[in-house]
Structure 1
């Protein structure tokens, strides 16, 4: 159970890191395109565009490393602490990226505000270059992926905490009879198991594995077929006596045939 849940958490985190990587890659590609156009055509662009490209570039490197190292260091307290700090830092960074590309929130019609300045949407940067309307739509794409990156960086920071707690719980319990000597932790009672009543002394005293009790001598029934049955004898001072008959004592010899049996209190016999 523990191994399956750990694998599921890693798969979810891998998916989240993949979305973050794609978001950063889209922002990096579009602003690299903007900088390439400005460099080739000697167009001045604001400094914040270079900051956006730097943030998205570092985000690509970080998320790519996260994808590669997730199977090795997922859940380690030190690695997860660094990842949480960086996730929170990228949340703030992409809030800045979204604010810088707020011009893409418009309908990209009429007058548009782009990285190349404010111009009519129908105008173009030059021959063979995109129009301002197209550049505005590129800003809209960067704004969208920035919002997505903010949400997924927030989720990944929370999931890092879950991975650390899962790893600690798995190492605390370890292999044992509760988990069939496999990795992970054994099953525990559910929420309603806390409210189960305690067993009474009668229920606890019953052992389902106990053998049936053997018959004791005082539980033997009297026999009507033989005089040698233990349950049919009564013990006295001079030996033992059968019901309605005089028995022979243990200390004297038995009378022979033809002798009259007479029993005295001292244990002797006469004809």
Structure 2
């Protein structure tokens, strides 16, 4: 159970990192296109365009490394702490990306603002796509930046979950209690073994009343109150014991010194 839960958490974090990687890759690809077109047509490139290009590029590198390191360092406290810090930093960075591309949040009709200038959506500057097309590219970047913000928040939470899960794994496994397998839920019997342990604990309760004896459990006794009638084994000497009468005589020890009539200390005699 422990290995399965660890694998499930890793798969979930891989999915989250994969979405982040795709979002960063889309932003990097589109802004690389903006920079390439601007360089070919001698268009002045704003600093914020270069900043977004850098954020997207670093995001691609970080998420790619995160996908690889999940194989070996998932839940490690040191690496997870660094990942949480970077995830929070990327949340802020992509908030900036979304704010810079807010021009793509509209309908991309009429006058629009794009990373390569402003103008009518149908207008096409020399050597550049129409402003409407540039606006739609900006819309794509705006959309993926919102998605990236949400998934960087999720990945930070998942890193905390992985650290907690790793600590539980280290605390509960492997040991004789779980058949020397890793995981706090992999012991033999699993969850239901707790009920068996509780049942055994109840049976060993010193305050519990003893069970009533059944007829086959009554011991042979000389005490008439507890003597089982009719359950004597074959050949049991009913007579011949000290103090019993046999044919009108009382059995007494044979080899003894008699102090009083009918009393002795060793052996039997009649």
Normalising by the residue count of structure 1, what TM-score does the alignment of the two structures yield? 0.78
Aligned residues of 1:28 and 1:57 also touching (Cα < 8 A): yes
C-alpha distance after superposition, 1:153-205 (max 9, x if no partner) = 0000000000000001110111124433211013458xxxxxx9x94947857
Alignment of 1:143 with 2:142, yes or no, is yes
Tell me which residue corresponds to 1:53: 53
The corresponding residue for 1:180 is 179
Of 241, 244, 263 in structure 1, the residue corresponding to residue 245 of structure 2 is: 241
The alpha-carbon distance between structure 1 residues 142 and 205, as it changes in their structure 2 partners (threshold 3 A), is farther
Output the CA distance in 2 between the equivalents of 1:183 and 1:70: 19
User: Contact 1:102–1:143 (CA<8 Å) still a contact in 2?
Assistant: yes
1:1-271 to 2 correspondences below 5 Å: 1-127=1-127, 129-186=128-185, 187=190, 199=202, 201=205, 215-218=219-222, 220-221=227-228, 229-231=236-238, 235-236=242-243, 240-242=244-246, 245-247=248-250, 249-251=252-254, 265=262
Cα 1:113–1:222 change in 2 (3 A) is: closer
Tell me the alpha carbon deviations over residues 70-99 of structure 1, each in whole angstroms, 9 at most, x when there is no partner: 110010000000000000000000000000
For 2:51, what is the secondary structure of its paired residue? Answer: helix
Aligned residues: CA RMSD: 3.2
In structure 2, the gaps of 5 or more residues are 193-198, 256-260
- After TM superposition, the structure 1 stretch with the greater mean CA deviation from structure 2, 118-127 or 27-36, is 118-127
Q: Please give the per-residue CA displacement for 1:25-73, whole angstroms capped at 9, x wherever unaligned.
A: 0000000000000101001121100000000000000000001111100
Change (3 A) 1:248 1:31: closer
**In the alignment, is the contact (CA less than 8 A) between 2:219 and 2:228 conserved in 1?**
no
- Alignment check: 8 A CA contact 2:218 2:227 kept: no
Unpaired runs of at least 5, structure 1: 190-195, 253-263
| Distance of 2:152 and 2:173 partners within structure 1 | 31
TM-score of the pair, normalised by structure 2? 0.78
- Structure 2 counterpart of 1:255: none
Residue in 2 aligned with 1:259? none
Cα shift at 1:249: 4.6
- Quickly say closer, same or farther: Cα 1:144–1:203, change in 2 above 3 A: farther
1:11–1:265 distance in 2 versus 1, CA, 3 Å: closer
Tell me, in whole angstroms, the C-alpha distance in 2 between the residues paired with 1:94 and 1:106: 19
* Count of residue correspondences: 240
Partners in 2 of 1:222 and 1:120 — Cα distance? 115
